[in-house]
Amino acid sequence: MSPRNSKANQPADEPSALLLAYYGDDFTGSTDVMEALSQAGLRTVLFLKPPTPEQLAKFPGLRAFGIAGGSRTMSPEEMERELPPAFEALKASGVPIIHYKLCSTFDSSPKIGSIGRAIEIGRRVFGERPTPLVVGAPMLGRYVAFGNLFARSGLDTEPSRLDRHPTMSRHPVTPMSEADVRVILAEQTSLPVELVNVVKLDQAASSRREEALTSETRKPKAETSQFAAPVVLFDTLREAHLPMIGREIERLAQGGQLFVAGSSGIEYALVEHWRAVGSVQRSEPAAGRPGPAKQFIAVSGSCSPVTARQIERAVEHGCLEVGTGPELLVPGGRFHRSICAASKHLAQGHSVIAHSSRGTNDERFIPALDASAQAGLCGALGNMLERLIEISGVRRAVVCGGDTSTHVARALGIEALEYLGPMAPGSPLCKVHAPGRIADGCEIVFKGGQVGRDDFFRDVLNGGPQRD
């Protein structure tokens, strides 16, 4: 199968026109993948549960679909229950590439959100061929060089090595004390890792020959794949590396349905490769760019300093805030008082942000909040958002925090999401499909805590990033 005759060229109304399916290890990361594909003009729908054929049929011209999961906060035992049926559902779709989408800051540990365990499960379901691993995504401020991961803390900052990152080095659940992805992964799995480093990528870029980058695809056909490393990690330092990585992934997929792991760098790499060979043209998504809104409603369970700066900047520009916290877990007066305060501000024409803390220095922040209490708090924020949408009629909203987003989406009864337009890299404005619920048809951004520039909320109000 040559790239120019790949499934990217087939009419979009054929079932085989599906190019890719994915499982996201958290909610906001799942919308990140949808954005990468949708911006290339490839219609993509994100479901909260594995979709039925009937649900897929509701979206003609579909090229990719995803499942918004929650494995980033699961133990290995929980992942063993959650991931196999989800992977089997993706496998049954027959798409050539199946992606386990993980956070670009590699949030994981041997006990929580183990990426190593997820790869092991994926290889059991999809077979023992090499698993490409792409963590970096330069357009999102995530870079891997000689296996070490660097990340920005918001778009207005310089990249930091992961173990010196202001947020990830002090993450309350998965603090990072190491930057080398291979070392982190070795604590989670015994699978060997082959690195395709930046030197090899640059050598390939300077050569006119399209040589294979990995040992698996360099071997003669007569050889078996048992001697190739099970996991192949790609450095991602520059956007120029992406088409070569995408070419290698497609090359590996020629041998049958391929399981890959990584950030949305996977999709950006594939799209750049498909564009390079002419099988995908540069085009705007059908939805176009969203327009400005008069108001928005935001709820935040994020404790990230990036979100804290964004809230502060929004308040400086006239947005009003409503402080909430663990008291929302107690039924009764406090929840209703918060609703009343927020709805009063909305009736006066203001945008409103209801948040559980402004960073880890906020007195309301509880680092030891257990999973059940956290789920209850985030669900309460979802109930608050639904009620405020109903009372005010405001149809544009923001949800801040990866774990928060999962619980809020469930509270709103969301079945699926589609891309509407960019707000911050990896956190697009989405159209909500929630049949029979208040949120159906709303425009909502589900934003990771560390995502976006300081003026993020003003961008949401204006319909997208503005030039200062």
29-44, pLDDT tens digit by residue?
Answer: 899 899 999 989 999 9
Q: Are 316 and 323 in contact (CB under 8 A)?
A: no
Q: What is the mean pLDDT of residues 435-442?
A: 97
pLDDT at 227: 40
Q: Is the pLDDT of residue 444 over 60?
A: yes
Give SS3 for 387.
Answer: helix
Alpha carbon 419 to chain centroid, angstroms:
13
| Contacts of 78 by beta carbon, 8 Å cutoff, 6+ apart | 71
**Of 389 and 174, which is predicted with more confidence?**
389
pLDDT at 90: 96
Of 32-46, 190-204, 210-224, 302-316, where does mean pLDDT reach its minimum?
A: 210-224
Query: What digits encode the pLDDT tens for the residues 15-27?
Result: 448 999 999 998 8
> For residue 421, which amino acid is it?
G
Query: What digits encode the pLDDT tens for the residues 369-404?
Result: 566 777 777 888 999 999 999 999 999 999 998 888
Q: Is the pLDDT of residue 366 over 70?
A: no
Q: Is the pLDDT of residue 425 over 90?
A: no
β-strand partners of 421? 429
What span, in angstroms and rounded, lies between the C-alpha atoms of 430 and 427?
9
Eight-state DSSP code of residue 52: P
Q: Is the pLDDT of residue 171 over 90?
A: no
The terminus-to-terminus CA distance of the chain in angstroms comes to 46
pLDDT at 212: 67
pLDDT at 213: 72
For 73, the token pair is 């906060």
- By the 10 Å C-beta count (0-12 exposed, 13-18 middle, 19+ buried), 416 is classed as buried
Q: What is the mean pLDDT of residues 61-67?
A: 95
Q: Is the pLDDT of residue 62 over 50?
A: yes
Query: What digits encode the pLDDT tens for the residues 306-356?
Result: 899 999 999 999 999 987 766 555 555 577 888 999 999 999 999 999 988
Name the band, by pLDDT with cuts 50, 70 and 90, for residue 451.
confident
Of 89-98, 166-175, 187-196, 232-241, where does mean pLDDT reach its minimum?
A: 166-175
For 176, the token pair is 């990072």
Which percentage of the chain shows pLDDT scores above 70?
85
Strands (E), 83-163: 97-101, 131-134, 142-145, 148-151, 160-161
Question: Mutual orientation of helices 402-411 and 27-38 as an angle, nearest 10°?
Answer: 90
| Contacts of 20 by beta carbon, 8 Å cutoff, 6+ apart | 37, 63, 64, 95, 96, 97, 98, 99, 267, 270
Strands 258-262 and 97-101 turn out to be parallel
Q: Is the pLDDT of residue 223 over 50?
A: no
Q: Is the pLDDT of residue 422 over 70?
A: yes
Helices within 165-264 (DSSP H only) = 181-186, 198-206, 215-218, 242-253
